[in-house]
Amino acid sequence: MPITPAEFEALYRSHAGEVLGFLRRRGPAADAEDLLAEVFLVAWRRRADLPDAVARRAWLFGTARRLLLAAHRGRVGGAGPLDDVSAADVEAADHGTVGADRRGAAVRAALASLAEVDRELLLLTVWDGLTVAEASEVVGLLPGAGRVRLHRARRRLAADPTLVDLLPSPAPL
């Protein structure tokens, strides 16, 4: 049963903000608005076969991720924006939130060492606030597999030489 226009608006009001946040974190800010519109246009066009309400959040993030990857590929070809964290770096530098800060640089370097799927699982859960099951769905994994990979990614990150010095020191946090 396709969702109604009212339900579609409710879907937008509930999730557009966080999808916009995801797009702005992962890609150029200038593209985020257009991509957000495209995400929800896809949702409207697919309104007859959208997943159940509980799964729609992950579906929207998954669509946003695919559009972002395609947009990035269209611009520069090759790897997606999540294969490095340069987009996030630029964004961060623009906003001066982490900039050249040592911790920020160390975290970004450590993140860059992770496999793309592992990194995305981690960021979807920590930055975007998705559940492990939702994040797994976004990257195309079953929840169990996502949970295992997320656990391993955390362990790898914690063991990263650039972060080891930072982890025992909670004072600045």
Partner 1 sequence: MTETDQTLDDLLRDADPRPVDAAASDKAVLDRTWARLEAELAASTVVPIRRRRVRAVIAGTAALAVLCGGTAVAAELLKARTGVVATPSTQTEEFAPGEVIDLTAPDLREAVMELTRDVPFPSEAVRHSVVYGAKDFDPIVSAGPDKYVSSSAGERFTVARYAVCAWSDDFVAATAANDSTRRKADVTALAAAPAWRAFSLVDGSGTLNEATAGIRDEYVGTAQSIADAAAGGDLARLKKITETWCVPVAAPAGYATAPGGPAARTATEPATTATERPAPATAPEPARMSQPTTKG
User: In whole angstroms, what is the distance from residue 98 CA to residue 89 CA?
Assistant: 9
DSSP state of 63: H
Comparison of 32 and 138: residue with beta carbon closer to partner 1: 32
User: In whole angstroms, what is the distance from residue 56 CA to residue 97 CA?
Assistant: 31
Report the 10 Å Cβ neighbour count for 65: 23
Binding-site size, partner 1 (CB under 8 A): 55
Q: How many residues does the chain have?
A: 173
Instruction: Determine the interface stretch with partner 1 among 50-58, 64-72, 131-139, 141-149 (rule: CB under 8 A).
Output: 64-72
Comparison of 124 and 136: residue with beta carbon closer to partner 1: 124
Binding site for partner 1 (CB under 8 A): 5, 8-9, 12, 16-17, 20-21, 24-25, 32-34, 36-42, 44-45, 63, 66-67, 69-71, 73-74, 88-89, 91-92, 95, 97-98, 103-104, 107-108, 111, 122-123, 126-127, 154, 157-158, 163, 166-168, 170, 173
